[in-house]
Amino acid sequence: MTPAAPTRIQLSLERTDFQLAVDLELPGHGITALFGPSGSGKTTLLRCVAGLEQADQAFITIRGQCWQNSAARFFLPIHRRNLGYVFQEASLFGHLSVRQNLEYGYRRIPARQRRVQFDQAVAWLGLAPLLSKPAPTLSGGERQRVALGRAILTSPDILLLDEPLSALDNRHREEVLPCLERLRDELKIPMLYVSHCLDEVTRLADHLVLLDQGRVVAQGSLTETLARLDLSRHFSEDAGVVLDTCIGLHDDADFLTRLDFADGHIHVGRRHEAVGQRVRCRIQARDVSLCLTRPEATSILNRLPATVVDLVPADTPAHVLVRLNLGTTPLLARITRRSCLQLGIRPGLSLWAQIKAVALLNPARH
């Protein structure tokens, strides 16, 4: 599938106790996360895109097709919007088997218009062993994988995902997450992913829209938006950055793997991916400490030269949040106010960052 034009969403919706007003231009493919606290308007925005709710004023175009233009009094009915929608609950047809659930939407699409084939969806989502099973016998994770399959087999122009993992326990979440990653990489369509879980967002999203009280606080690439100090209060203790790295080499003697990025490298425990494979990792600000000179006698393996860009108060009065640059790569550190004063932390200062922990967001496949 060829990458499409950007997704355009301008809308205003007023209710008695809530107002939503957004103006977004989003990538034409990949996952855009709609992130924010409960009640910030994430699901309402998704429902307006789907046509389940009609905004008072709106201009919405998906892959070059206009779905709503209030100025021209145009509203495309939901049954004519080529979309896939996955809710918190899978809502499968209980009287049908997995195969029959998948075929429900697939058969409605003329063969010449199918951009996703039945066997493709089954392979991407690992559904082959489930095809003959009745829907009511499935686990929560299996049900969501089937719901994803049913949605993409309609060959949608956009995939809307409303907290699809929120009803699952950790084991079943880990079952579905790799499938979402696979769909992100295989489907060249926009995917809007609603979540208030930063772990999911940092693992899956390419683009981030931060919502609060019905307004867009920020939008942009995931890496750039997470590194903004002016947004730190929205992430609280989870403030940090995401790095896209590459497996550089494996050190079998010490059971370590080197991850390379544009401005250096970091080491993590031995990985199973091949050298050259891309790996996304997350470094939380609370896992970064600062030294004025290069640390020598330390157990912390990852030590990188950095420059202070700026600093702001953190989520508690005792702490500050420091924005650093590792060359051009951003990094955040959460340190005590006392340490900040003692070290003389200020913009432009050159120092060393010690990274105590690195969270790998792409689990190793054995």
Span 113-127, pLDDT tens digits: 999 999 999 999 999
Span 168-187, pLDDT tens digits: 989 999 999 999 999 999 99
Confidence of residue 366 (pLDDT cuts 50, 70, 90): very low
Residues in the chain: 366
pLDDT at 137 over 80: yes
> Residue 39's domain is classified under what CATH number?
3.40.50.300
Residue 177 lies in a domain: yes
206 and 253 both lie in a single domain: no
Contact predicate 361/280, CB 8 Å? yes
* pLDDT for res 120: 95
CA 306 to chain centre: 27
Residues 6 or more apart whose CB falls under 8 angstroms from that of 79 comprise none
Domain boundary, last residue among 183, 202, 226:
226
> Cβ atoms within 10 A of the Cβ of 116, count?
23
Domain boundary, last residue among 159, 193, 226:
226
25 and 138 both lie in a single domain: yes
- Least-confidence region, from 2-16, 34-48, 169-183: 2-16
54 and 120 both lie in a single domain: yes
pLDDT at 9 over 70: yes
State the average pLDDT over residues 140-157.
95
Interatomic CA distance for residues 148 and 164, integer angstroms: 9
Interatomic CA distance for residues 365 and 30, integer angstroms: 22
pTM of the model: 0.91
222 and 318 both lie in a single domain: no
170 and 271 both lie in a single domain: no
304 and 353 both lie in a single domain: yes
Contact predicate 85/162, CB 8 Å? yes
Domain boundary, last residue among 163, 198, 226:
226
Per-position DSSP letters for 17-60, written without gaps between them: TEEEEEEEEE-SSEEEEEE-STTSSHHHHHHHHHTSS--SEEEE
For residue 280, what are the domain limits? 240-360
Residue 42 lies in a domain: yes
| Number of domains composing the chain | 2
- Greatest Cα-to-Cα distance within the chain, rounded to the nearest angstrom: 70
* pLDDT for res 253: 94
Residue 233 lies in a domain: no
Residue 193 lies in a domain: yes
Report angle CA 204, 207, 212 to the nearest 5 degrees.
100
Structure tokens at 104: 């429900």
- Least-confidence region, from 282-286, 310-314, 362-366: 362-366
Residue 208 lies in a domain: yes
pLDDT at 2 over 90: no
218 and 249 both lie in a single domain: no
State the average pLDDT over residues 106-111.
90
161 and 207 both lie in a single domain: yes
* pLDDT for res 4: 66
CA 288 to chain centre: 23
Residue 65 lies in a domain: yes
* pLDDT for res 167: 87
210 and 255 both lie in a single domain: no
244 and 222 both lie in a single domain: no
Span 283-302, pLDDT tens digits: 999 999 999 999 998 999 99
In the chain, helix, strand, coil percent, each to 5? Answer: 30, 40, 35
> Residue 288's domain is classified under what CATH number?
2.40.50.100
Residue 344 lies in a domain: yes
Residue 365 lies in a domain: no
215 and 248 both lie in a single domain: no
Count CA atoms closer than 13 A to 286's CA, side-chain side: 11
297 and 261 both lie in a single domain: yes
